[in-house]
Amino acid sequence: MFIVQFEDVYAQQPGRLSERAEHMNAHLAFLDDHGDLVVAAGALRASADGVPTGGIWIVAADSKVAVEEIIQSDPFWKAGLRKSFRVSYWAKACWSPGFTDCMTAIGEN
């Protein structure tokens, strides 16, 4: 299992937020098409309604190389909306019932 942390370009280039909107449907379709590997994904923001500063993916892949290949085929990456990424191995220490409840609640919204 891997965690990917992205840094986006919007903090330094706020004018590019409109490009994010242009590519969002393709990005979401990409995530849906790769749902067997990218099992969770979402934007990072300083506040709930703030400008995205990056994102996190949880990826169930066989190798770091496979994760990097997925990243580089994402429409956001291809459009130059990601400034950088970091791929880390994740060794789960716990998965609390509260986390399961939280994920269920998010899925219902």
Q: Tens digits of per-residue pLDDT, 23-54?
A: 999 999 999 999 999 999 999 999 988 888 99
Residue 18: enclosing H or E segment and its boundaries?
Answer: helix 17-33
Positive or negative: CA dihedral 59, 24, 48, 86: positive
What is the per-residue pLDDT for 76? 95
pTM of the prediction?
A: 0.84
**Is pLDDT of 108 > 70?**
no
For residue 54, the enclosing domain spans 2-108
Could you give the number of structural domains in the chain? 1
Residue predicted with more confidence, 5 or 107? 5
Q: What is the CATH number of the domain that holds 32?
A: 3.30.70.1060
Over the chain, what is the mean pLDDT?
Answer: 90
d(CA 24, CA 75): 8
From CA 41, how far away is CA 22, in angstroms rounded? Answer: 19
Check if the beta carbon of residue 67 is closer than 8 Å to that of residue 38.
no
Query: What percent of the chain lies above the pLDDT cut of 70?
Result: 97
